Amino acid sequence: MRIFKTKIINHPLKLSKKKSSNINVLYDRMFFWLLLGLIGIGFVIISSGSIPTGMRLANDPFYFIKRVIIYYSVTFLLSVIILKIPMIVWQNYSVIMLLCSYIMLIAALILNNSTNGASRWIMWGTLCIQPAELSKLSFICYLANYLERKSKEVRTKFWSICKPIVIMIILAVLLLAQPDFGSIIILFITTLSILFLFGAKLCQLILIFVFNIFLIIPLIVIKPYRIQRILTFWDPWKDPFGNGYQLTQSLIAFGRGKCFGEGLGNSVLKLEYLPEAHTDFIFSILAEELGYFGAILVLFMLFVIVLRAMIIGHRALNINHRFSGILACSISMWFGLQIFINVGTVSGILPTKGLTLPFISYGGSSFLITVMASMQLLRIDFETRLSKNQAFLKCTKT
């Protein structure tokens, strides 16, 4: 595995020896460069796919490109800060983060800045903040903290499993009021998966799953558009200019891409044929312009990112950094699930859901939070390697 090196200078985790300040701390170079590569690809595809929409909305072909540059700049500054925050800080303030998420979700409903019938945003000048994205990260931090403290109870007591489920359901109610059904699915499946990985009994989780399915079915039935989404994805060509319009246009984009694509900037479907071409359905434009091989390359990069996140979590658990390990595994599950749902949606495998493709889709809040989570992964890897270096120094001393 390739790695790049930086020197420790006044690091929060101080080493016991003076000469240890010259020791080299290792970061996961593969994860870092894959992350930069995906962000670069995302910027190029957003720049290509957003020009027609920018012309229609603001008579400016670079409208979304300018906003992306602002989001990227803010994200870069925050990333530098997050890399310097020890994981113990995230653990100590996880409950406060979760409470802030609740408050922001309630504020979004009260302010009611509605777009396409959804009240998911808090407007701040020209920028939009989507609290649902922050709620994913804050809940995962809370869950990791809970499992770190209550790991034995989770293995033996049913109520200990129910506590994080209840917290998640309260969060889901606020998300449903927006509505944001996609984020609820992400939180629900991630929670059950992490509880199972860290000791919860399968029979108890199946019971919880069945109970929640019975709660979800009425929510789908009472909203006709949700039933239409489920029925439409089976055969979108039955109504290609109605309910199936978005999916049929997405499939046409895939077909036009063939093996090597139409070339950057040569997409036809982005010319107002495919709605949300630069956000939820950006993978369709990517497949049209870069072709089958370009799409497979991007999927492979995303897969490796998810895999590396799980490996980082496994290494942290091996040296008993339980909070960091559980958090890294949770982020891996979250990323993997969101990628699967987004790609499954645009390719017609799953019903249409309003979820972005991590690191690639346009969306300031989504991009910011996914990069923040990635910086947490790099920090976890840093602390894991630092602990191993400290252990090595102690061994050499003795």
Task: State CA 346 to chain mean position distance.
Answer: 17
pLDDT for the residue 392: 59
383: its two tokens: 């602390």
Strands, E assignment, 58-212: 113-115, 118-124, 127-129
Strands, E assignment, the chain: 3-7, 24-28, 113-115, 118-124, 127-129
Task: Name, in order, each residue with C-beta under 8 angstroms of 221's C-beta and a sequence gap of 6 or more.
Answer: 227
Task: Name, in order, each residue with C-beta under 8 angstroms of 391's C-beta and a sequence gap of 6 or more.
Answer: none
6 three-class SS: strand
Say if CB 330 and CB 322 are below 8 A apart: no
Q: In whole angstroms, give the CA distance from residue 247 to residue 240.
A: 8
pTM of the model: 0.87
Q: In whole angstroms, give the CA distance from residue 49 to residue 63.
A: 12
Say if CB 108 and CB 121 are below 8 A apart: yes
**Look-up of token digits 């590396």:** 308
245 three-class SS: helix
pLDDT for the residue 231: 73
Say if CB 28 and CB 3 are below 8 A apart: yes
Q: In whole angstroms, give the CA distance from residue 228 to residue 231.
A: 5
**Look-up of token digits 């089976």:** 234
**Look-up of token digits 């998810």:** 306
pLDDT per residue rounded down to tens, the chain (398 residues): 343 343 333 444 343 343 333 334 567 889 999 999 999 999 999 988 888 888 888 888 888 888 889 889 999 999 999 999 999 999 999 999 999 988 988 888 887 666 655 566 776 666 677 888 889 999 999 999 999 888 888 888 888 888 888 898 888 888 888 777 788 888 989 999 999 888 888 888 888 888 878 777 776 667 666 677 677 778 788 878 877 888 899 999 998 988 888 888 888 888 888 887 888 889 999 999 999 999 999 999 999 999 999 999 999 999 989 999 999 999 999 999 999 999 998 988 888 777 889 999 887 788 999 999 999 999 999 998 888 776 656 666 66
Alpha carbons within 13 A on the beta-carbon side of 304: 17
pLDDT for the residue 53: 85
pLDDT for the residue 340: 94
Backbone angles phi, psi at 114, to 5 degrees: -80, 135
Among 17, 22, 35, smallest CA distance to 375 is for 35
pLDDT for the residue 13: 39
pLDDT for the residue 31: 93
- CA distances for 45 relative to 67, 68, 180, 217, angstroms: 14, 12, 25, 37
Rounded (10°) CA dihedral 69, 72, 78, 80 = -110
